[in-house]
Amino acid sequence: MTKRIKILPGGPYEVDSDIPLHRAKIVTDEKGDSKEWKIEGEYPDKPTEPYHLCRCGRSKNKPFCDGTHKETKFEVKERASRTPFIKQAKLYEGETLNLLDNEFLCASLRYCHERGGTWRNAVFSSSDENRDSAINSACNCASGRLVVTDKEGNPIEKDYEAEVDLIQDTKNDIKGPLWIKGDIQLIGQDGYEYEKRNRMTLCRCGQSTNMPYCDRHHLTCDHMKGLDEEK
C-alpha cells in the first residue's frame, strides 16, 4: 500500500505509523562543505500509531507535535507550485549527463558544492570523476532540487526506502527540514495529492514561503537552533 503523509489543516504532519523516523546528520569536509550523510538508527520515541511531526516549529517536544500550533493560531497556506518538477526545472545539458534544477526547492544543505559544483560536473561529465561527482552530489540533495539524468532523460537515483529523516545541520548547529524519501504520497490540507518523488524536504520551522517545502528559513529561526535530542 502507498505510504502517506497528511498535512493537517493549521496543524502538524500526520505520518503513517509504518514509516520509519531517523536522524540524518550532515558530515562535512575540512572546508565545511557537506560531504556525506550519517543516518542514525530509528527514533526510539516514534509512536506505533500514526504519528504527528511539528510543522509550526514551536513544539517543546520536537520533532513531535505538542499542540502549540493551537495556542499560536498557526495558519500557513501551501504556496508551492503544483506544476510537475520536470516542467519547472531548468535543463543543463552535459557531455554524458543532463542536470535538472528547480531552485525553488533549495534547502541550503550544501552537497552541490562538491568538486566545484554539481552543475560543472554534470556539464563536463565525460570525465569519470566529474560524472561520479555529479551523480553523488545530486543524489545527496535531500530536497530533490537537483536531478541527474542520462542523455535519454532517465533519472539516476539512489534506491531510497520510504522513511522520514530529521536533518541535523551540524555545521550551523540547527535543526533542518524533514527529509522525505522513497515516493511517499504527500497529501495537502485540501486533499491534494502532491507529485510523489524519491527525495523532498518539508518545512518544519513554520516560516517557509514555499510551504509545504523547505525554503531555507530554518537557517534564521531561533527556535530551530540546536540539534534534535536523542530521546
Burial 97-119 (b: 16+ CB within 10 A, else e): bbbbbbeebbbbbbbbbbeeebb
Q: How many residues are listed for the chain in this entry?
A: 231
Q: What is the pTM of this model?
A: 0.96
Cis preceding linkage at 84, omega within 30? no
Nearest to 184 by CA among 203, 168, 169, 165: 165
Q: What is the DSSP string of 204-221?
A: -SS--TTTTB--SGGGG-
Contacts of 155 (CB under 8 A, 6+ apart): 147, 148, 149, 198
CB distance 50 to 38 below 8 Å:
no
Can you list the alpha helix ranges (DSSP code H) found in the chain?
A: 68-71, 85-88, 118-123, 128-139
Rounded to an integer, what distance in angstroms lies between the CA atom of residue 54 and that of residue 205?
8
pLDDT digits (tens, 9 = 90+) for 70-113: 998 898 899 999 999 999 999 999 999 999 999 999 999 999 99
Mean pLDDT to the nearest integer, 143-154: 98
Cis preceding linkage at 63, omega within 30? yes
Nearest to 22 by CA among 1, 53, 50: 53
- What letter would DSSP give residue 183? S
Binning pLDDT at 50, 70 and 90, where does residue 231 land?
low
Residue 11: the pLDDT is 96
The owner of cell 532523460 is 153
Binning pLDDT at 50, 70 and 90, where does residue 165 land?
very high
